[in-house]
């Protein structure tokens, strides 16, 4: 642990700030961790079992990338965490699935059945029945009269209306709905009014993956103010901690986040370029030389129809241009048959390496299992069929990157933000350029210690400017 070089204060001044005092003490106590720091989920176990176990053993929080995995894979991962980490610290990603609520239900069934006590909830636009069911399960009154909340929720937000929903109790209509169907008990329904939906709100700025590309200096103070306002009408909201994510790749950015008022920080992109991360060596080789400006924001494949955007690595890849092209075609045309022959030919040959018909056959088999309602719609509506075929390209591009396919190198979809470039810049010349020398807990140590040292140095200089005057 802590083997990476980090920023050290110059001179002989006393360190005023330590890594273990940055951020919220309640965050550290509630999650049982040494630092107010977390490594965020990355789909399909890119945030891998190894990553979670390594962080947990170091007394640090991380979230397993459960998105896109089959339930049995998630169950197996939880089993390993329980064996190797006991009760934690660790959490599992809970992804909203607006087009397939059954999938969300299934995720929550697994989490409750296997007593996972912390989730990182992401992509929620509004609270859903399954999210509320997770939050309310097991609510009870303790002897001292306080409400015991066994299931903790960290919600990732980048928009005020979503933050608002997580600072409030579960909507009454949803609580009634769950009670009527016997999904929660009368006690849980009654106590719901005293509990905000989240324990932690993570204000996400310009991050890798799905992003609204907001600026941290705006979105973080905004969310803190929103929390404080919410607490005036609903006092339990005062306890909801507000953290920062997006663009945190070096100690300077982490120090800035804490000065802006973050109760905790969460990183994503930088953890993708470590020994523990579950992507291919080829992707890690590319990322270890990435600069902050090597990123592009393109349509997000899994939400193509909504216009949502995701930030990806672009240097040397065709993927960003192809993602843009497919989105443009989806908007402009109503069916695959409407595409002009040259475009149709180009997409089939270059993007897919096979015909639309072949892609459709495979897609159909998948949706027959995964989402029959969507398949039914596609059989009736040619535009929806085109959407599902185009989405297959995005799935293929993730698989190619994760599998390290040499043949499909230019199609790699590598979700990543500028934080990666910041880390590489910071590590240049330290002997830690190679990802084989980067471990996820060491990065946490590097960022937190470095931030504490930077702040100590700055505060000392501001508190006693004369002592710092240059000769
Ligand atoms: C490759 C990659 C995959 C991601 N997948 C998910 C995911 O499945 N679920 C999720 O909640 N967040 C996901 N994220 C977002 C991260 O958890 C985190 O919030 C974000 O990366 C923080 O911003 P940063 O990349 O600037 O550090 C992903 C990020 C990356 C880079």
Q: What is the mean pLDDT of the chain?
A: 94
User: Where do runs of H (alpha helix) occur along 32-86?
Assistant: 49-57, 71-85
> What atom in ligand 1 is closest to the CA of residue 206?
26
Per-residue pLDDT tens over the stretch 217-262: 999 999 999 999 999 999 999 999 999 999 999 999 999 999 999 9
Distance of alpha carbon 90 from alpha carbon 78, whole angstroms: 10
Q: What's the average model confidence in pLDDT over 315-325?
A: 97
Give the distance (Å) from ligand 1 centre to CA of residue 269.
7
Q: Please report where in the chains the tokens 């069916």 appear, as a residue.
A: 335
Torsion, Cα 157 163 167 170, to 10 degrees, reads -90
379 phi, psi to nearest 5 deg: -70, -30
Q: Check whether 11 has a pLDDT greater than 80.
A: no
Pocket mutation for ligand 1, best pick of 48, 268, 272, 398 (most atoms within 8 Å of C-beta):
268
- Give the length of the chain: 471
Pocket mutation for ligand 1, best pick of 123, 156, 208, 278 (most atoms within 8 Å of C-beta):
208
> What atom in ligand 1 is closest to the CA of residue 43?
8
Query: How far separated are the first and last CA of the chain, in Å rounded?
Result: 38
Q: Confidence band (pLDDT; 50, 70, 90) for 470?
A: low
Going along the chain from its start, the domains and CATH numbers come out as 25-279 (3.20.20.70), 285-411 (no CATH)
Give the distance (Å) from ligand 1 centre to CA of residue 209.
5
pLDDT at 98 (0 to 100):
85
Give the distance (Å) from ligand 1 centre to CA of residue 180.
36
Q: Check whether 332 has a pLDDT greater than 60.
A: yes
pLDDT at 468 (0 to 100):
60
Whose alpha carbon is nearest atom 12 of ligand 1?
41
Ligand 1 binding pocket, CB closer than 6 Å: 40-43, 46, 65, 67, 93, 95, 120, 122, 156, 204, 207-209, 245-248, 266-269, 272, 415-417, 419
Distance of alpha carbon 290 from alpha carbon 22, whole angstroms: 29
Whose alpha carbon is nearest atom 28 of ligand 1?
42
pLDDT at 3 (0 to 100):
46
Whose alpha carbon is nearest atom 5 of ligand 1?
42
Q: Check whether 471 has a pLDDT greater than 70.
A: no
Distance of alpha carbon 312 from alpha carbon 293, whole angstroms: 11
Tell me 169's DSSP state: B
> What atom in ligand 1 is closest to the CA of residue 419?
26
pLDDT at 77 (0 to 100):
98
Least confident residue range of 15-24, 422-431, 459-468: 459-468
Whose alpha carbon is nearest atom 1 of ligand 1?
415
**How deeply is 244 buried, as exposed, middle or buried, from its count of CB atoms within 10 A (0-12, 13-18, 19+)?**
buried
Global pTM value: 0.95
Under a CB-based contact definition with an 8 Å cutoff, are residues 264 and 23 in contact?
yes
Neighbours of 369 (CB within 10 A): 8
Cis-peptide, bond into residue 89, ω within 30° of zero: yes
Give the distance (Å) from ligand 1 centre to CA of residue 459.
32
Tell me 415's DSSP state: B
> What atom in ligand 1 is closest to the CA of residue 266?
22
Gyration radius from the chain CA atoms: 23
351 phi, psi to nearest 5 deg: -80, -50
């Amino acid at each position: 642990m802590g083997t990476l070089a980090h920023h050290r204060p110059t001179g002989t001044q006393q360190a005023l700030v330590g890594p273990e005092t940055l951020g919220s003490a309640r965050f550290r106590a509630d999650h049982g961790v040494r630092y107010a720091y977390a490594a965020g989920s990355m789909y399909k176990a890119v945030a891998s079992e190894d990553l979670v176990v390594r962080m947990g053993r170091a007394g640090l929080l991380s979230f397993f990338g459960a998105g896109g995995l089959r339930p049995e894979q998630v169950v197996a991962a939880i089993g390993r965490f329980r064996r190797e980490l006991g009760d934690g610290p660790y959490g599992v990603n809970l992804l909203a699935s607006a087009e397939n609520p059954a999938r969300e239900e299934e995720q929550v069934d697994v989490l409750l059945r296997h007593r996972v006590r912390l989730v990182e909830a992401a992509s929620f636009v509004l609270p859903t029945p399954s999210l509320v069911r997770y939050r309310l399960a097991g609510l009870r009154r303790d002897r001292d009269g306080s409400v015991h909340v066994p299931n903790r929720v960290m919600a990732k937000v980048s928009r005020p209306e979503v933050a608002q929903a997580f600072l409030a109790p579960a909507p009454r209509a949803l609580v009634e709905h769950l009670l009527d169907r016997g999904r929660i008990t009368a006690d849980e329904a009654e106590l719901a009014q005293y509990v905000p939906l989240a324990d932690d709100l993570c204000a996400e700025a310009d991050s890798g993956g799905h992003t609204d590309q907001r600026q941290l200096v705006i979105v973080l103070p905004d969310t803190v103010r929103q929390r404080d306002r919410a607490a005036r009408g609903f006092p339990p909201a005062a306890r909801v901690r507000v953290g920062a994510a997006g663009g945190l790749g070096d100690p300077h950015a982490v120090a800035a986040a804490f000065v802006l008022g973050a109760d905790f920080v969460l990183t994503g992109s930088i953890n993708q370029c470590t020994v523990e991360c579950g992507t291919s060596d080829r992707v890690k080789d590319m990322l270890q030389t990435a600069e902050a400006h090597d990123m592009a924001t393109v349509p997000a494949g899994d939400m193509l129809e909504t216009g949502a955007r995701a930030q990806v690595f672009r240097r040397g890849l065709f993927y960003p241009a192809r993602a843009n092209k497919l989105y443009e075609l989806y908007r402009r045309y109503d069916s695959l048959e409407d595409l002009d022959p040259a475009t149709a030919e180009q997409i089939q040959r270059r993007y897919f390496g096979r015909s639309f018909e072949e892609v459709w056959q495979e897609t159909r088999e998948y949706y027959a299992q995964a989402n029959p309602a969507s398949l039914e719609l596609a059989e009736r509506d040619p535009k929806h069929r085109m959407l599902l075929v185009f989405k297959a390209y995005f799935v293929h591009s993730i698989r190619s990157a994760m599998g390290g396919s040499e043949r499909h190198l230019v199609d790699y979809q590598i979700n990543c933000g500028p934080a990666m470039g910041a880390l590489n810049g910071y590590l240049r010349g330290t002997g830690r350029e190679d990802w084989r020398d980067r471990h996820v807990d060491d990065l946490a140590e590097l960022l937190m210690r470095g931030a504490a040292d930077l702040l100590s140095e700055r505060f000392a200089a501001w508190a006693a400017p004369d002592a710092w005057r240059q000769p």
